[in-house]
Amino acid sequence: MANPFSSPGNRTTNMPTAPPGHAPRRSSYAAVVSGTTPTTDVFGFDSGNRYLPSSDQRHLIDPRHTLNGSWGTPSHGGLPRYSRAYAELINTYGYDGDGDHFFVPSYLRGSAYIQTLETAYRAKVAAAREAAQSRHSSQPGSLSTSASAANLNVAGKLAPSHRGMTFELIEKAAPVEAEGVQMLPSRWNANDKYAGLEVLRDGCEVAFTGGKTTEYEAYSIRADHAMPVQSGIYYFEVKIVSRKVEDSSIAIGFSTKDVPLSRPPGWEPNSWAYHGDDGHSYCCQSSGKTYGPTFTTDDVIGCGVNFHTESAFFTKNGNHLGTAFREVRGKLFPSVGMMKPGEHVWVNFGQSPFEFDIDSMILKEKKAIEEQVAATSTANLAPPLDETSLIQSLVLQYLAHDGYVETAKAFSDEVRSEKQALNIGNKEEVKGFEFHDDGDASQRQEIRNAILDGDVDSALQLTESHYPKVFEDDEDIYFRLQCRKFIEMIHRGAEIRSRASTGRTNGHHEYDAYDDMVNQDMELDHPHEQNGGFDKMDTDSGGGNGGGATNGAVHDDYDRLLEETINFGKAISAEFAHDKRQSTQRALRDAFALMAYEDPVNSPDVAHHLALHKRVTLAEDLNSAILVSQGKNPSTALERLIKQTVVLAEDLAENGGPGSFVNVYDYMKPRPPSPSPF
C-alpha cells in the first residue's frame, strides 16, 4: 500500500540508499612508517553500512529518506568565521557535519531537544563503531594492538583498491552519550498491543485482523516511545485507511504504559482519546463529552499535547478542533484503538508533512516566550554596567583571552571613542575600557597563528620557549600537536604531488619512486590508470621549455619530504608506544593510514581530517592549556555565560516548561547581512 501521506509533489520514490561499503585499503604505506614491512594483508571491515539500520528504518537516521528536507553538511574549505568554542552554538548539528542522521519532525527542527537527542545518538553510534573496530583490531589479519600503533598483522593477499578505508581521526575525545534523553516515537510497538491487531509494513501501519467475543471489546496499541516532554508540544497524525466507508469506531489519543489494551484509549484511567463513531472526547472514563465531528475512511486526525499548558487538542484534515483535555500529565504514549474487523490506520510521527500547520503553532509559542524574555530587565546582571557596557566587556575579554591582540586593541579604541563622543560637555577622558597587552596575549597569538598556518613545528618551539610547563602538565596536547605535525607533512606532500600531477618525463613517471619507497618491493596494483593517478601515467618524449628541470626539482622536494614524513612517523610511533590508551593508538593508526591515499586532500573519506577547521580546534585547545598552566580559566567569560544560559534553559524545559521553546544556539548564528539601501 502506498503511503497515504504522500502527495504527487512530495513522493518518496527513488530515495537514495545508504552509502556503499568502502573497498579495502591498498598496500600498507603505514606499515613502512611503523617499521614493519608486511607482504600481505586482509581486511574484513565493512566501513560503510555496518551501523546503519535496515532499509525500512533508514529514514530514522538519514534525512534523505524523509519529506522533511535534508540537513546540510558544513563545508570544510577555509577557516570558519567564528571561534571553534562556539561551533556547536552556530552549527545545529554539534559536530563536524558527517555521520548518520535520524528523522526529525519539521516543527522540532533546530530545537534544543533535537540537538540533545542527536548528540546522544551520535555518541551511541560512535561508541558502537569504536567497539566494533576494537574487536576487529584484536583479530588476526587486522590492525595490531601492539606497541606500534601502525603495526600490521597480515594473513593474506591485499585486494586492489583506489580508495582507502574510512578512518575517523580522533584529535579530541568523543562526546559522552547524554543520559536520560527521551527518544522520539517512530512506529507502533508490536510488543505493546492487543492480540487482534497486526503491525504492517514499516511499523507505521496497523490493522484489526482478529475476531470479537463481546460488543465492547476493543484492540489497542501504543507507540514504541513516549511523547518527549522536552519538546514542549508533541504532535502526530493518523490517517484512516479502512476500506469500509461506514462509521469508524477508531479511537485516537494517548495513554500511560500501564493502561490495559483490551479497551480503547479514553475509557480507562490515564488514557485520553477522540473517538470517530460519535465525535466525543474521552478522558479516563467510558462516558465522553461532545467535542468534534465524527471521522471515517480517508480522514486525517491529528493529536497534539502541549506539555507547557498541560493540555491536549485534536485536528481533522488540517483544521484545529480546539482544546480537548486539560491537566494532562504523565509519561504518555501515542495510542489508537479499534473495535471493528477490517479497520486500518497509518500513523505519521513526522516522517512526512502534516496536514495541520503545526509549525505555525510552534512559532507562535516561541514568539510568546521570546517576548517574555525581551521584557526582562538586565539592570541587575552586572551593576554598575548597563547592558551595552556588559556586552562590550565580554567581547573584549574574549578577544584578549583567545589572543586576538590587534583586534582587541582596535575594539577597545573604538568603544572608548564612542563613549567619549557621547560624553558631551564633559572634557574628562573616558576610562575603564582599556586593553593592556602584557606580552602574554601576543605570545599566545603567535602560537595560534603558527598552528593556523600549518606550522606546527614553530608552535611547538614557541610553546616550549614561553610556556615550558604546558607539555609537562598536559601530555595529551603535546601528543595531538605531534599527530597534527605528521598530518600537515602528509598534507604538504599531497599538495606537491597534486601540483606535479601534469608533469611528464621520458618513459617513466617521476613519482613511481613514491611507490618504490613506501612499498619496498611489495607487489602493487595500479587502479588509478583511468583517474589521472601517478601509478602509471602516459608519458611523452619531449620535456620542452625547461619543464624537465622544474619537474626534477619538484621531484627532489617531494622525495625529501616523503623521507622526512616516514622518519617522523616512525619517531612518534616509538615515542608513544608506551601509551596503551585506545584513543592514542587509534589516533596514530588512523594518522598513518592517510598515507594510503593517493590524494587525501580530495578524498571524500578522509578530506575532513585535513580540513583547516581542525587547526582551529587544536589552536584553541592549546591556548586553553597554556592558560590552565598559568592558573587562569581556560574558558572566556562569554563562553561560561552562554553555557550557564544553556543549562538554565534546559532546567526550564523539564516537564515541558517554557525552556522547551527556547534554543540559545539560535541567538549565536550569524545573521544575514542587511540589504543595501542603494
The three grid cell numbers given for residue 115, joined into one nine-digit string? 540537538
- Greater confidence (471 vs 66) lies with 471
What's the whole-number mean pLDDT along residues 347-375?
94
* More confident of the two residues 426 and 377: 377
Q: How confident is the model at residue 502 (pLDDT cuts 50, 70, 90)?
A: low
Query: Do residues 117 and 61 make contact, with C-beta atoms less than 8 angstroms apart?
Result: no
What is the C-alpha to C-alpha distance for residues 287 and 293, in angstroms, rounded to an integer?
17
pLDDT over threshold 50, residue 603? yes
- Is residue 290 scored above 90 in pLDDT? yes
Calculate what percentage of the chain has a pLDDT beyond 90: 37
- Which alpha helices (H) appear in 100-172, and where do they start and end? 112-137
Q: Residue 304's pLDDT is what?
A: 97
The dihedrals phi and psi of 561, each to the nearest 5 degrees, come to: -65, -40
pLDDT at res. 30: 38
Please, which pLDDT band fits residue 154 given cuts at 50, 70 and 90?
very low
pLDDT at 303 (0 to 100): 98
Report whether pLDDT(484) > 90: yes
Residue 349 pLDDT class (50, 70, 90 cuts): very high
Mean pLDDT of 319-333: 96
How far is Cα 565 from Cα 326, in angstroms, rounded to an integer?
69
- Give the angle 280-282-286 at the CA atoms, nearest 5°: 110
In the predicted model, is pLDDT for residue 237 greater than 80? yes
More confident residue, 377 or 6: 377
Average pLDDT for residues 104-121, to the nearest whole number? 90
- For every residue of 433-489, DSSP letters joined together read ------SHHHHHHHHHHHHHTT-HHHHHHHHHHH-THHHHH-HHHHHHHHHHHHHHH
Q: Which of 20-24, 249-253, 666-670 has the highest mean pLDDT?
A: 249-253
The better pLDDT of the pair 670, 47 is held by: 670
Residue predicted with more confidence, 88 or 536: 88
- Residue 127 is predicted with a pLDDT of 79
Residue 545 pLDDT > 60: no
What is the pLDDT, as a whole number, of residue 122?
Answer: 81
Which CATH class, in words, describes the domain spanning 188-348?
A: mainly beta
pLDDT value at position 678?
A: 54
Distance CA 512, CA 515 (A): 5
Under the banding of pLDDT at 50, 70 and 90, the label for residue 17 is very low
What integer best gives the mean pLDDT of the chain?
Answer: 74
**Among 102-111, 206-215, 503-512, 562-571, the least confident range:** 503-512
Q: Read off the pLDDT of each residue in 224-237 and give the average, rounded to a whole number.
A: 95
With a cut of 50, say whether residue 90 has pLDDT above it.
Answer: no
Give pLDDT, residue 530: 35
Q: Give the sign of the dihedral formed by CA 514, CA 518, CA 524, CA 529.
A: negative
Q: Is the pLDDT of residue 645 over 80?
A: yes
Please compute the mean of the pLDDT values over residues 106-125 and round it to a whole number. 88
Give the model confidence (pLDDT) of 170-192 as tens digits: 333 333 334 567 899 999 999 99
Select, from the ranges 113-117, 343-347, 414-418, the one with the highest average predicted confidence (pLDDT).
343-347
Q: Is the pLDDT of residue 392 over 70?
A: yes
Question: Which range has the top average pLDDT, 61-65, 206-210, 345-349?
Answer: 345-349
What is the pTM for the complete model shown?
Answer: 0.63
Task: Please calculate the CA angle 257-263-266 and round it to the nearest 5 degrees.
Answer: 70
Cβ neighbour number for residue 522 with a 10 Å cutoff: 19
Mean pLDDT across the stretch 380-385? 84
Q: What is the pLDDT averaged over residues 225-250?
A: 89
Q: Which residue has the higher pLDDT, 608 or 444?
A: 444
Determine the average pLDDT of the residues in 564-573.
Answer: 90
pLDDT above 80: residue 228: yes
Assess whether pLDDT exceeds 80 at residue 436. Answer: no
The answer to whether residue 100 scores a pLDDT higher than 60 is no
Query: Domain boundaries in the chain?
Result: 29-179, 188-348, 383-437, 444-629
Looking at per-residue pLDDT, the higher value among 532 and 263 belongs to 263
Q: Look at residue 25 in the predicted model and tell me its pLDDT.
A: 37
C-alpha span between 223 and 254 (Å, rounded):
9
Per-residue pLDDT band for 294 (boundaries 50, 70, 90) equals very high
pLDDT of residue 325: 96
Question: Mean pLDDT over residues 345-353, rounded?
Answer: 95
Cell numbers for 541, please give them: 618524449
* Segment holding 157, helix H or strand E: none
What DSSP designation does 175 have?
P
For the ranges 28-37, 131-140, 315-324, 392-401, the lowest mean pLDDT is seen at 28-37
Cell 593517493 found at: 598
pLDDT at 124: 81
